[in-house]
Each structure stands twice: as C-alpha cells, then as structure tokens.
Amino acid sequence: MSKIETFACKDGWAFAIAEVGAGAHAVISTYVFQAEGPYWIPQDRAKVCGRTAQSSQVPASLYTEACMTN
C-alpha cells in the first residue's frame, strides 16, 4: 500500500513524498520527477539535487522538500 503525503510541481519538475508499505513496515520516501512531454520521468535525486538550491536542477521553490528530505 502507498499513500502520497505531499506533491508539488513547477517548471517541468515535481516531487512526491509518499508512505510506502503498511503498518510497522511503512517508510516515507521522496521521489523526484522531470517532465518529458506528457510523462513524468523518475530522476536520481543524487544527480539532480546538487548540494545547494543554486546548484540544483530542481527549481529553488521545490528544492527543500524534493532534495532535503529523508
């Protein structure tokens, strides 16, 4: 079972924070996506986030939640 806790998108980028699993086995995970035409393509956070909002490919308005969580 999965449940999306938070989702936002801007300028062709999106993130989702989701609870994956059930009960005691549930974990919170953050996913980052980039738009490609009508599709959202999962991205490797280590590659697209950068060390700071300024060095990130992810828009600054999404950076904290997309890149600095779990």
Mean pLDDT of 48-54: 94
Position 2 pLDDT exceeds 80: no
Mean pLDDT of 15-36: 93
Position 1 pLDDT exceeds 70: no
Position 62 pLDDT exceeds 90: yes
Could you tell me the CA-to-CA distances from 19 to 12, 31, 35, 56, 68 in Å, in that order? 24, 11, 23, 25, 17
Distance in angstroms (rounded) separating the CA atoms of residues 36 and 28:
26
Distance in angstroms (rounded) separating the CA atoms of residues 39 and 24:
33
Q: Which secondary structure element, helix H or strand E, spans residue 18, and what is its range?
A: strand 13-20
The mean pLDDT value of the chain amounts to 94
Mean pLDDT of 46-66: 95
* Helical ranges in 1-70 per DSSP H: 45-48, 60-67
